[in-house]
Amino acid sequence: MSAAYEDRLRAFVGREIHPLRPGQDPVNVPMIRHWVEAMEDDNPIYLDEEAARATGRDGVVAPASMAQAWVMRGYAATAAAKGGGGPADELTDLLAEGGYTSVVATDSEFEFHRELVPGDHVAAREVVESISPEKATALGAGRFITSLRTYHDQDGEIVAVQRWRILRFRPKPKPQKPREPEERPEGTAAERPEERAPRPQPAINRDNAFWFEAARERRLLIQRCAACRTLRHPPGPCCPECGSFEWDTVRASGDAHVYSFVVNHHPRHPAFDYPLIVAVVELAEGTRLITNLVGVTPEEVEIDMPVVLDWVDAGPESSLPVFRPVAQEGQ
């Protein structure tokens, strides 16, 4: 990717791609009714005045997550699928120029400031917060576009804030391997790469955060006791050898060998290709690590086989160490 292209992308960061624009209709009971019926949400505060007042409200309220619905452009405009040539379309076109022609939404985080009631009229604007460098993902190489949407009422007060993240990516060709009869029927997410789910995310806490933060920068660390220098993994707050709470880290060389491995077939998680090889490798430094083996078929894996560190992007803010066979001389 050229430096000029990067600059053109970077110019969108901080830019307003949707100016403040009111929704087509004010907040109204018929749309609320359609929504809660479709969602099978039977909370009475959305439709029953008396029940809403019994909860201390002045009357019925709109479901909080309808915020986005009030500003959608509607069926006719969507069916016409015609860009208006605004900055949002310019960004889409620029990404398509880079080959990122497919899109999948990855995150939507809402903060709700107040409940909307019939008669409110919602308007929204959207500003680009960040555009990631190209990341290798299970769907294909792509960039994560994060934007901030603010929802205002008729008085200009903010009623909700939404952090919205999409992945624009270059679709990978589908793998051409034969499917086993035990696999899920066609049409599940696992079979449609464009809907590939992110890997299960690690639970981060104060004892393990350093490791995952380093992994994001593609550095494989091993925790080391600062007192007796014993290495340990998985990390913990205290040295089992000497009891010291002081620790630092060393960076792993990346050399390892397979200690044991499994080949997963069932159940399937939509983030992975199956059969999936999971291994316990023993690092040259002596600690062991659960990981995936890549660049090798299940039939080729053997215990004690030498492997070397590689990386996969496991989500917008996560890289994970994996291992591949050491390249053989002359191959």
Closest CA to 327 of 308, 300, 311, 312: 308
* 306 touching other proteins, by CB under 8 A: no
Nearest Cα neighbor of 296 from 281, 282, 318, 317 is 281
Q: Indicate which single residue of 157, 207, 241, 248 sits in contact with other proteins (rule: CB under 8 A).
A: 207
**What single DSSP character describes residue 154?**
T
Among the listed residues 157, 63, 166, the one whose alpha carbon sits nearest the alpha carbon of residue 108: 166
In the complex with other proteins, the residue whose CB is nearer, 171 or 298, is: 298
Candidates 201, 244, 253, 297; binder of other proteins (CB under 8 A) is 201
Binding mask 24-53 for other proteins (x = CB under 8 A): ------------------------------
Footprint (CB under 8 A) of other proteins, residues 266-285: 266-267, 269, 271-272, 275-276, 278, 280
Q: Judging by beta carbons within 10 Å of its beta carbon (0-12, 13-18, 19+), is residue 83 exposed, middle or buried?
A: exposed
Four-residue CA torsion sign, 78, 84, 90, 94: positive
247 is a contact residue toward other proteins (CB under 8 A): no
CB-wise, 141 or 294, nearer to other proteins?
A: 294
Q: Which of 263, 285, 294, 311 binds other proteins (CB under 8 A)?
A: 263
**Residues in a beta bridge with 161:** 111, 150
CA distances from 23 to 53, 67, 105, 125, 155 (A): 27, 10, 22, 11, 14
When asked if residue 106 is in the footprint of other proteins (CB under 8 A), the reply is: no
Query: Which of 15, 125, 172, 288: binder of other proteins (CB under 8 A)?
Result: 288
87: contact with other proteins by CB under 8 A: no
- Of 106 and 291, which CB lies nearer to other proteins in the complex structure? 291
